[in-house]
Amino acid sequence: MSFVITVGFATEHDRAAFVEKTVPKIRGHLTDAPTPEEGAEDGLHRVGLAVTSQSAAKDLCHQIVAFLAHSKTGRVTVGWTGMAGEAQVGEVNAGAARDAEILAMRLGTAAKAHLDAEKAEGVSG
């Protein structure tokens, strides 16, 4: 059971630096990043991360803030799928700790709902 989060970067260099320096600190693992729908390409370089807890999802946002503090990147886009299957998106900007905390709460809540639903399906299925 895991919850997939997509993190998008402006450049391939930023994505590679994040994978090399930050991903090992995250309680989760790399997975294939969902590709954007045709016609919705935004030029972002994505990495998919699968986490298995609400706290790991929240921690990902804090790790992104730390990454932004040490890189020249000003913004990272975070995406996930909501319970009804709709795409959810948030941004973490360098120096905007409050916005990142709000995103961490949204992401943690979505992860918990998703993982609880998976558990319920496993019990009833």
For 61-73, how does the pLDDT look when each residue is reduced to its tens digit (9 = 90+)? 999 999 998 887 7
Domain that holds residue 23: 3-124
Average pLDDT rounded to a whole number, residues 79-92: 90
Provide the 3-class DSSP secondary structure of residue 79: strand
The set of residues, in sequence order, having a beta carbon less than 8 Å from that of 26 and lying 6+ positions away, is 49, 51, 56, 59, 60, 63
The two structure tokens encoding residue 114: 């998703």
Q: What is the CATH number of the domain that holds 30?
A: 3.30.70
Which candidate, 107, 79, 73, places its Cα nearest to that of 93?
Answer: 73
Mean pLDDT of 91-104: 89
- Which element (helix H / strand E) includes 108? helix 97-124
Number of domains observed in the structure of the chain: 1
- Block residue for tokens 């693992």: 29
pLDDT at 6 over 70: yes
What letter would DSSP give residue 85?
A: S
Q: What is the pLDDT of residue 124?
A: 61
Position 74 scores a pLDDT of 83
Per the prediction, the chain carries an average pLDDT of 88
